[in-house]
Amino acid sequence: MFNTIRIEYTTIFMNIYKLLEDLGEMLVGILGIDSSRYQNIIDQMSDQEKQIALAVNKQRMEEDKRCDNTVTTIESDQIDIELPTENV
């Protein structure tokens, strides 16, 4: 019985949340605050410039992935660091 009530309340709250989300998106669209601050630059780009920008962005994303993978695969016990000793 309690599980049924919990599921019904969850469904009601999810529907309310979805409704509020949709209303918020409509309000943002009406007010015009959903566009990027660089939207006018993007709108003025030619198709060729957009293709170049997408290619550059894709290349940067791939470089970021390679860097992220490199950093995460190194574990602290795999690194041997020799510290200099001071002669006193």
User: Residue 31 is which amino acid?
Assistant: L
53 and 45 Cβ atoms separated by less than 8 Å? yes
Render pLDDT for 56-73 as a digit per residue (tens, 0 to 9): 999 999 888 877 665 555
* Beta-carbon count within 10 A of 9 CB: 10
- The predicted model scores a pTM of 0.39
Alpha carbon distance 63, 78 (integer Å): 24
Mean pLDDT of the chain: 78
Say whether pLDDT at 8 is over 90. no
Alpha carbon distance 62, 22 (integer Å): 34
Alpha carbon distance 13, 21 (integer Å): 12
Does 3 or 74 have the greater pLDDT score? 3
Say whether pLDDT at 26 is over 60. yes
Alpha carbon distance 38, 50 (integer Å): 13
